Amino acid sequence: MSAGASVGPPMGKRLRPVAMLCLDGGGVRGLSSLLILQLLLVLVTEELIDAGVIPRDHATIKPQDVFDVATGTSTGGLIVLMMVKLDMSIEECIQQYKELSRHVFSQSRPLLKRVFGSDWSKYSGKRLQEAVEKLLKSRDQPITLMMRSGRRQNSMRGYFGTILAIRRIQELTIRKDGSLSRSATASFRFLLHARMSGPISTTHVELRY
């Protein structure tokens, strides 16, 4: 670092709180998270228009323009992957999610296998992995895109990883290989790391089915 370089915001300048988006899983019901997020973005866009921040003919803003940090579990992680790594709009995410749902959640695994096997997830993790790889290929992206944090489409920096639960959480293993999108519970988490030097403001919306 060169002499005289300063770190942090200018003296007296107030930092904007970090906006964090957390998306839970829930299989095909994860679509409800997208629909709620879509409504929130419409409301935020209207607020910005009324405040004169953006012109009245401005399209609905993307989640990437609002949130600094995003994390998702299971299908929530898939949604974050689409928004951050693929820079998809909320409308594109909804359409893609519907298409993925027909492949991933069209058939649940047999109950006996879920109860007595080491993998008790309702849906096939292999189907989820195949769906993610198909999505990446359809947008001319390598299946290793999830691990890359160099070049990116927006201001968010991402890290992708899974926690593999073996025999009902008796052992935890961090996976960082080619099957990142698949785990024993067909779940994955996507966490975006950001440097936070100010207060963190979060809004928690919990849906109970």
For a pLDDT cut of 70, what percent of the chain falls above it?
49
Q: Give the residue, 79 or 113, on which the prediction is more confident.
A: 79
Report yes or no on 12 lying in a domain. Answer: no
Report yes or no on 79 lying in a domain. Answer: yes
Q: Give the residue, 177 or 86, on which the prediction is more confident.
A: 86
- Whole-number Å distance between alpha carbons of 123 and 146: 22
| pTM check: above 0.75 | no
Report yes or no on 6 lying in a domain. Answer: no
- Whole-number Å distance between alpha carbons of 199 and 113: 46
Q: Is the pLDDT score of 34 beyond 60?
A: yes
Report yes or no on 208 lying in a domain. Answer: no
Report yes or no on 177 lying in a domain. Answer: yes
Average pLDDT over residues 151-169: 47
Average pLDDT over residues 53-77: 85
Report yes or no on 148 lying in a domain. Answer: yes
Mean pLDDT rounded to a whole number for the chain: 65
Q: Give the residue, 152 or 134, on which the prediction is more confident.
A: 134
Report yes or no on 65 lying in a domain. Answer: yes
Number of domains in the chain: 1
Average pLDDT over residues 106-132: 55
| Host domain of residue 193 | 18-198
Helical packing angle, 90-104 and 31-50, nearest 10°: 180
Q: Is the pLDDT score of 88 beyond 60?
A: yes
Report yes or no on 207 lying in a domain. Answer: no
